[in-house]
A and B are shown apart, each in its own frame.
Chain A
Amino acid sequence: MSVVLVDAGGTNIGSVRYALQRLGVEAALTADAETIRAADKVILPGVGAAGPGMARLRELRLVELIRSLTQPVLGVCLGMQLLCEHSAEGDTECLGVIPASVRRFEEAPGLCVPHMGWNRLSPIAAHPLLKNLQEGDWAYFVHSYAVPTGDYTLASSQYGDVFSAVIARGNFHGMQFHPERSAGVGARLLKNFLEL
């Protein structure tokens, strides 16, 4: 099985790559369109801001390519947000393969933004990506923007409002938390993706 990590300049690429190695998979880091198109699985990692993230994909001429992929694709953190239609972060038009908009968390007393730390997952739809995930399993989040829940939501979490923790539409999947940093729960979910 060939797995590629799209090199869109995110800083968590190393950690995602090591997490895959711990699962016995050597993922190539690439920005080459043909390599990405030919892969069995494509992962779009990302730490950073939506505007620069999309700018980098446009610069690499990967926007149309990613939209046209038919194999399983997983966006992680910012990578998940880039799969949506629009992000309020920098008023950015994103890839638009999942019909959702990304909004900023509302700051409130006792509610720090960014949402940083371990929070619980609630599976709300049956999906092979969530195999062996249980209500209340913990995942590690670091983000200031979030995707509201919708019919694309597979699992949710709550920080003030309920928001999407795992989303999917067709072959496109997203995890708002960092599976590569979510201990055993994260490893299990990454393994599920590799087995899709």
Chain B
Amino acid sequence: MLSRRIIPCLDVREGKVVKGVRFRDHIVMGEIVDLALRYRDEGADELVFYDITASPEGRSVDRSWVERVARVIDIPFCVAGGIRSVDEARAVLHAGADKISVNSPALERPELVDELAAAFGVQCVVVGIDSMRDADGEWRVRQYTGDPSKTRSLSRRTTDWMIEVQSRGAGEIVLNCMDSDGVRKGYDLAQLMVARTVCTVPLVASGGAGAMEHFRDAFTQARVDGALAASVFHSGAIAVPDLKRYLQQQGVVVRLQETSRDE
């Protein structure tokens, strides 16, 4: 049986892992390779690295650290940040990333999703969606969220965009619910439940994890495939092994760290 995935997210800015509250006021959390190894050893199922400054600055992700991570890490990892073309995606995948995630560039030019799926297969193509509830009650997509001064509100409804990217070849969707991001009050279950009804590819919840119960609720109520979090892991508020043991007790199928077996 497929396990539910716990995915620490490492926001990368100028070669360091950073975290901000509501996407603002970033502080340095540590070195990329050190944190990647720590999470691997703790039993994280996957890692996501977002180069949060790449898209607003109109440049592609700095790739030197992708290869450094790939050399030491033996769990899958996904790289996001300003990937705008098949060639840029290929370079990141060849550096050792397992998947690439596109967000703002897919909103600029939706055909990018088709091109990436045709070139590498849908299993490599993750579409990240930043979503916020507007005054009229609709969830709509945001663009360039890495830099608050450049963030744009779009007229696209989040569910419409989710349906479109799946038809274009998204193999997984990470839904970042911005209303709940960074404030640790729990994942946006209402939005995730709606998203689940239109999402036939794996769905990853992002934004709002503050306690172990929040992960349980995302898995059992919104039936997401993976739950992504950053600050609760980086700060040590929740340790991945404790979280997984808790989830198992709660009836959620998780991969518990194997016991070492010497040959």
Give A contacts to B, CB under 8 Å: 11-15, 18-19, 21-22, 47-49, 107, 110, 112-120, 131-132, 134, 137-138, 140, 142-144, 158-159, 178, 180-188
Contact = CB atoms under 8 A, between A and B. Distances in A.
Given A114-B201, A183-B75, A142 B96 contact: no
Q: Nearest 4 pairs between A and B by C-beta? A: A11-B93, A14-B96, A142-B123, A118-B255
B74 A181 contact: yes
10 contacts: A11-B90, A12-B98, A119-B2, A138-B255, A140-B75, A144-B122, A182-B75, A184-B258, A184-B260, A187-B74
Given A112-B200, A132-B263, A183-B75, 13 more contacts: A18-B70, A19-B74, A21-B71, A47-B121, A112-B201, A112-B225, A118-B255, A119-B3, A131-B263, A144-B122, A183-B40, A184-B260, A187-B74
Contacts of B258: 137-138, 183-185
A138 B95 CA distance: 25
A11 B100 CA distance: 11
Nearest to B74: A183
A22 B200 contact: no
B124 interface: yes
Chain B at the A interface: mostly helix, strand, loop or mixed? loop
B45 A118 contact: yes
B57 to A, nearest CB: 26
B94 interface: yes
Contacts of A158: 1
Contacts of B202: 112, 114, 116-117
A194 to B, nearest CB: 13
Contacts of B225: 112, 116-117
A119 B261 CA distance: 19
Contact of B2 (A117, A178, A186): A117
